[in-house]
Amino acid sequence: MTPRTYDSPFVSATDIRAAVQHGRALTILASIWETNSEGGYQRYRAGHIPTALFCDPDAALSGLPGSRSGRNPLPEVEQLQRAVDYWGLRQDRQVVVYDQGHGLFAARAWWVLRWAGVENVAIMGGGLDAWRAAGGPAVVGPGNISGHADVTVRPGSMPVATIEDVKNHQGVLVDVRQPNRYAGRREILDLKAGHIPGAVSIPVDELFTVENKVKTPEQVRERFAAAGLYDSSNVIVYSGSGNHSALALAAMESAGLTGAAHYVGGWSQWSADPKNPVERGD
């Protein structure tokens, strides 16, 4: 196993700019999504970090949506392997992922690649917005041709919780969606409003600054301690469909809170079954 280049799941745009300028061996993935099918790629073509390759979160990082699996289920192994081969991922080469700035799709890429057994993955905090703020250049066009990959997808390299695991869970369940969605006051994405009974609310936004940079390890641990969580053992984390929860898990790892399981199906899967109980309120 190749040692990680970066100790934290997050790396600054300043550090990546220096690495690019000095020609360090990095694979940079632009994980960009837009509501229309071609929008993400068009945004990538309009401006991306030099050497970055395009990652389509829908095509590469999610399986087919459905009521039984949720809005963004895990990708099929063959599907993800094709993407890994296309990007030319190598075990001895650091991978850096970024998005426009909010971190959701970069975190999705980080978590799915870690789940697939890719160890050396980091999220560029603040995304393309931070890159530009750091004086980094953006290039236009279709991007570079990737090299030869030597990574074989090994699913299960990060802890995953199924819906049955959640139903039988005796530990702590953490909901990282916005407070209004947790409380059931607002829901525009899924079939019902509310949260899984017994879940505690730790909104992922509270783990990040207004510039979309992860807070200090001490601040992240303090937020979890305020909810009565002093470690991440026997913890399952969920969001709507695995994006906000991936970002929360990256923040947790940056603070030393490792080992929590990810319920990727999240509220989108839970709420789609009318037999599943729903809790509302703060």
46-60, 134-148, 159-173, 223-237: least confident range: 134-148
The residue type at 233? S
The pLDDT of residue 37? 66
> Stretch 19-41: mean pLDDT, rounded?
88
Instruction: Report the pLDDT averaged over residues 57-63.
Output: 96
pLDDT of residue 191: 85
Return the pLDDT at 1: 45
Answer yes or no: are the C-beta atoms of 13 and 76 closer than 8 Å. no
Going from the C-alpha of 199 to that of each of 175, 183, 192, 209, 279, the distances in angstroms are: 6, 11, 16, 24, 9
Q: Answer yes or no: is pLDDT of 189 > 70.
A: yes
221 confidence band (pLDDT: 50, 70, 90): very high
Q: How confident is the model at residue 282 (pLDDT cuts 50, 70, 90)?
A: confident
pLDDT of the residue at 4: 63
Q: Is the pLDDT of residue 11 over 60?
A: yes
| pLDDT at residue 36, as a whole number | 74
Mean pLDDT of 55-68: 94
Please give the model's pTM, rounded to 2 decimal places: 0.95
CATH topology of domain 10-133: Oxidized Rhodanese; domain 1 (3.40.250)
Residue 67 — pLDDT band, cuts 50, 70, 90?
confident
What residue type is assigned to position 12 of the chain? S
Domain boundaries, the chain: 10-133, 163-270
Model pLDDT, residue 104: 97
> What DSSP element (H or E) covers 107?
helix 104-115
Q: For residue range 92-137, list pLDDT tens digits in order.
A: 999 999 999 999 999 999 999 999 999 999 999 999 999 999 999 9
Assign domain 163-270 to its CATH architecture.
3-Layer(aba) Sandwich (3.40)
Query: Same CATH topology for 10-133 and 163-270?
Result: yes
Q: Which residue has the higher pLDDT, 259 or 144?
A: 259
CA 206 vs CA 82, 107, 185, 188: distances in Å: 35, 16, 19, 21
Residue 2 has pLDDT above 60, yes or no: no
Q: Exposed, middle or buried, 183 (CB in 10 Å: 0-12/13-18/19+)?
A: middle
Instruction: Look at residue 146 in the predicted model and tell me its pLDDT.
Output: 77
Per-residue pLDDT for 58 more than 80? yes
Which of these, 210, 203, 218, lies nearest to 255 by C-alpha position?
A: 218
